[in-house]
Structure 1
Amino acid sequence: MDQNEKAHMGGAASANDTGPGAGTTALFTEPKGRRTDNKTVTFGDAGAVTSLPLWSVAGVIFIFAVWYITTTAWGFPDDFKATVEPGLSDRELFRLCSLSDECDIDSFTQIVSPLVFPSMRDTWNAATELFSDGYRNISLWTHTWASLWRVIRGMFWGSLFGIPVGLAMGLSSRARGFFDPLVESFRPIPPLALLPLFVLSFGIGDKTAVPLLIFASIWIMIIAARAGMRNASLPKVRASYSLGASKRQLLTKVLLPNALPEIFTGLRVALGVSWGTLVAAELSGVADGLGAMISQAKNFSRLDVIVVGIVIIAVIGVLMDILLRVVERLLIPWQGKT
């Protein structure tokens, strides 16, 4: 072995064995017995999710078309047609039939009964009524803001506690060993199963609704942050150490940016789960909120009000997901690019 080869091997050894992590516990260590630098499965890659606006619009139109066709009364009885002026269009017949006591428009050639699902006409009328007068002396804006504020608080506290725990589990095998049994034990529990326990422990109203939303989101954020930290590129970590990066620099410049895509994906998943838990969370005695409005409408068989509440929740959820994607593109411009 000549001097050049010895010098080359000595330089490689110093790069691997010296530096901020030498002689101490490394900030990021490779698990023994397996390679992690070739991982291809992650918690989720929001940058790889693409949507075509044209197909999205087509999907929405298809849903509304099916809704309209299946819940609209098609055709009218011959005896009713004989009593009105011949040559009227179906729309005019529909209007006259709806005004006549002798013609029950909802009973003729309707695929889905109004007792099963409301028609678009009834839902539109209920929506205009809710926007103008509210429901049971509470405005629609009050219901919407109450639910939105509960989801925001649940997501905030779930992320505030979940992300640091997940990052610690990704960095430290001790933290992972300590928190793993807790996370894997509570994660499969449906939030709805804890509703009676939370009501008895915390009381009714927001004292139960917000903790239930925190429980629904915190485990998702822990898993997302842990996955993001564990999926860090080992060559980048080794290169950072060889260039003299400190542990703090490695954490802030390499590991945390690498974990951000997974964390944002976790936020989007937790957001959907939180909205899905909202209706049950607002069954705990709250006076306002979209879930409370839906529950009250159920007691009075107002299917149209229930559908309006569901549509509002869906629209708000989509808008918040779009907002998270925009923020993600601003904070992680390199995501999804090679």
Structure 2
Amino acid sequence: MKKKTIGERVLTGVTVIVILVIWFMTTKLGLVDPKIVPSPQSVWDALIDIMQNGYKNYTLFQHLGASMNRLISAFFSAMIIAIPLGLASGYNSKLRAIFEPIIEFYRPLPPLAYYTLLVLWMGIENESKIALLFLACFAPIYISCVSAVIKVKEDYINSAYTVGASKMQVFLHVIFPACLPDIFTGLRTALGVAYTTLVSAEMVAANSGIGWMVLDASRYMRSDIIFLGIIIMGITGILLDKSIQFIENKIVPWKGKE
């Protein structure tokens, strides 16, 4: 991925500053009800209060930690299973014919549609949420891997066979490296889908987590905590995505340079 130029970084910074200034001025001039749009100062005060006293028997880091534990556990479980299965399915059409109907059936379903079943089967604790997030992660990763293998150029494969490479060597040294850019794209997509699903799941059935904190605060019209939770979710989402991009840049330095 092409790195941002200094000018692009400045534009990004200016955009953030403009948004903050509009937010500050709107609340400072009293253009909106503070119960609907809190001031930046009240959101900051809410952050300090929750950092010191926690929220509903949990500290802010415990709420965030509960969410991240669910998300990361499901994400890595899906990654470990979906990547080799997706690559194998892309390489073997018969294997793809077995798993494709299952993936294509549940992939378009809204995750919360079958979350009720998972809660009935596994309870409202972490097991059902991790299973839900696993399914949310699995489909994007699997599909990206299958697609990546299918679109590998035949010339690359035939050239490897010409010099005497075995099927395993072709897979490890030709197909797999060629698939890495698409695999990371699938990982980024899966993480975004899973984070969205996580927050929704915590709002449905949980007693901790950032999503639950936002929902609970809404019951008491605590817009300062709602804004704080949304900002934290946005920042952590960006950091998680940047982490994958960082690893991708180290492992796939040739991406975008073909």
TM band (smaller chain): over 0.9
3-state SS, counterpart of residue 115 of structure 1: coil
Structure 2 residue aligned with 1:24 = none
Identity %: 36
Q: Using the TM superposition, give the Cα deviation of residue 285 of structure 1 relative to its aligned residue in structure 2, in angstroms.
A: 3.8
Equivalent position of 1:242 in the other structure:
162
State how far apart, in whole Å, the 2-side matches of 1:112 and 1:194 are.
39
CA–CA separation in structure 2 for the residues paired with 1:270 and 1:170: 18
- Displacement after TM superposition at 1:279 (Å): 1.5
2:120 is matched with which residue: 182, 194, 200? 200
Equivalent pair of 1:209/1:284 in contact (CA under 8 Å): no
1:157-176 map, 5 Å:
157-176=77-96
Give the Cα–Cα distance (whole angstroms) in 2 for the partners of residues 312 and 202 of structure 1: 29
CA spacing shift, 1:304–1:212, aligned 2, 3 Å: same
Query: How far 1:195 sits from its partner (Å)?
Result: 2.1
* Structure with a larger share of its residues in helix: 2
Residue identity in the other structure for 2:26: T
| Bigger CA radius of gyration | 1
Distance 1:320 1:142 in 2: 18
CA contact (8 A) 1:166 1:225 kept: yes
Q: Secondary structure at the match of 1:282?
A: helix
Query: Aligned letter for 2:214?
Result: I
Task: Find the aligned partners of 2:233 and 2:223 in 1 and give their Cα distance.
Answer: 15
Instruction: Report the TM-score when normalising by structure 1.
Output: 0.72
Corresponding residue to 2:203 among 283, 288, 298 = 283
Deviation at 1:159, TM superposition (A): 1.4
Name the CA distance, whole Å, in 2 between partners of 1:128 and 1:245. Answer: 61
Q: Which residue of 2 aligns with 1:112?
A: 32
How far did 1:326 drift? Answer: 1.1
Moved more, 50-59 or 239-248: 50-59
Alpha-carbon offset, residue 70 of structure 1: 2.4
**What amino acid is the match of 2:151?**
N
Note the C-alpha offset of 1:219.
0.4
Is contact 2:35–2:222 with CA below 8 Å preserved after alignment?
Answer: no
Give 1:297-312 correspondences, 5 Å limit: 297-312=217-232
Name 2:103's counterpart in structure 1: 183
Note the residue ranges of structure 1 that are not aligned, 5 or more in a row. 1-46, 75-109
Asked if the contact 1:146–1:289 (Cα under 8 Å) also holds between the matched residues in 2, the reply is yes
Give the drift of 1:65: 2.1
Secondary structure of 1:287 counterpart:
coil
Which residue type is aligned with residue 171 of structure 2? L
* Paired residues of 1:228 and 1:262 also in contact (CA < 8 A): yes
- Give, in whole Å, the separation in 1 of the partners of 2:150 and 2:88: 10
Assess, with a 3 A threshold, how the Cα gap between structure 1 residues 71 and 291 changes in structure 2: closer, same or farther.
same
Shift of 1:48: 5.3
Q: Deviations over 1:244-282 (max 9, x none)?
A: 000010010000111111111111111111111112222
Trace 1:223-302 onto structure 2 (pairs within 5 A): 223-302=143-222
1:54 aligns with 2:14: no
The amino acid of 1:332's aligned partner reads V
Corresponding residue for residue 22 of structure 2:
66
CA RMSD in angstroms comes to 1.6
How many residues were matched structurally? 256
The Cα offsets for residues 190-219 of structure 1, whole Å up to 9 and x where unpaired, read as 112122222112111102111111111110
Q: Tell whether the 8 Å contact from 1:199 to 1:284 is kept in structure 2 after alignment.
A: no
Segments ≥4 residues shifted beyond 6 Å:
none
Query: Counterpart of 1:215?
Result: 135
Counterpart Cα distance in 2 of 1:63 and 1:277: 27
Asked if 1:144 corresponds to 2:68, the answer is no
Q: Distance in 1 between matches of 2:204 and 2:99?
A: 30
Assess, with a 3 A threshold, how the Cα gap between structure 1 residues 70 and 152 changes in structure 2: closer, same or farther.
same
Q: Deviations over 1:131-178 (max 9, x none)?
A: 222112211111111111111011011212222221122111112222
User: Unaligned 5+ residue runs, structure 2?
Assistant: none
Residues 64-88 of structure 1: per-residue CA shift (max 9 Å, x gap): 122223222x2xxxxxxxxxxxxxx
Aligned residues of 1:208 and 1:281 also touching (Cα < 8 A): no
Question: 1:38-82: CA deviations, max 9, x gaps?
Answer: xxxxxxxxx25857322221221122122223222x2xxxxxxxx
* Contact 1:155 1:217 (8 Å CA) reproduced: yes
